[in-house]
Structure 1
């Protein structure tokens, strides 16, 4: 059996996906990190509350990130504050929209959070995966799940964004992202 015998025939969707998915992931990750840096440079809230948030992975429509819990993220019980999670639902929705190629990520029309377990205490890490479930010319719908260090589901949320004006931003790369599988 030759070296390429285990690969699907060239041109099949399977072989194309195997070749191009790393390119899509690299493009989306680089762009999402650029958008996150723009938030950090220009926003009032994110650099103060979520400065140590790290985007760990991205592909078109999905972003993963994590946050090391520090004192400023906690409530008076010294556990992760629900407002910190709500802020991450907001930011996460924006980053999911960015993963589809929009630099200006629109404005919030709806945000929901359901808290299921403690997110942790100072020194713990909370992880999130957010997806852009529907991406249109007017609205984008996102959903997010948070897990703690034990792998327990901590919270889930949804975030709807009005994106009509965001489509006009010259820094968008929607066409480039859409060309990728």
Structure 2
């Protein structure tokens, strides 16, 4: 069963991407080159982020200035310059902003494994360790898809402030069973072979 795609010019179509591997002096499909996967991964993850920005209520309001800086299969890094809407009444980064980034980060980590529809949350946890900073400071995050199955995906994330201190860490579990049916997925192209 293939889910019908609704055209949206703001969201790039990645369904045409294929692995062009042959047996003649090229890696086999089971030996995808890391560089090839990474070159497909970053634009794909950014397209998923653009889909959140175009179709969600929360992310474009709170995290519109978030920038995905790198992606490879299973790992995504992003950063956010702290603005007024990200702070609490003490004028420091609000814990709810971090929790929202744990949620979004988990989705982007799942996207880095090739799922366009990134599932729904079953569990989200945040531990706050230091202040994330003030308006004008930058917070960086690295999120990893620790386990990627047909039903659940488990992700973990670490946040760093401008002083390279760990600000918070979190985890996010996603139910992804239905996401596997999305026609925009590129799971094979981003599959991690061991």
Match of 2:131 in 1: 118
Which one of the candidate residues 95, 106, 129 is aligned to 2:119? 106
Would you identify which runs of 4 or more consecutive aligned residues in structure 1 move more than 4 Å?
none
Deviations 1:35-93 (A, max 9, x none): 00000000000000000000000000000000000000000000000000000000000
2:174 is the alignment partner of 1:161: yes
User: Partners in 2 of 1:11 and 1:25 — Cα distance?
Assistant: 17
User: Partners in 2 of 1:67 and 1:97 — Cα distance?
Assistant: 20
Match of 1:149 in 2: 162
Quick check: 1:49–1:73 contact (8 Å CA) kept in 2?
yes
Which one of the candidate residues 29, 48, 51 is aligned to 2:61? 48
Match of 1:95 in 2: 108
Structure 2 unmatched runs, 5+: 1-24
Structure 1 unmatched runs, 5+: 1-9
- Displacement, 1:27? 0.7
TM-score normalized by structure 1?
0.88
User: Partners in 2 of 1:162 and 1:54 — Cα distance?
Assistant: 25
Match of 2:93 in 1: 80
Quick check: 2:37–2:72 contact (8 Å CA) kept in 1?
yes
Quick check: 1:24–1:180 contact (8 Å CA) kept in 2?
no
**Structure with greater helix percent:** 1
- Displacement, 1:22? 1.9
SS in 2 for 1:170: coil
Please tell me the root mean square deviation across aligned C-alpha atoms, in Å.
1.8
User: Partners in 2 of 1:122 and 1:25 — Cα distance?
Assistant: 32
User: Partners in 2 of 1:58 and 1:179 — Cα distance?
Assistant: 13
How many residue pairs get matched? 167
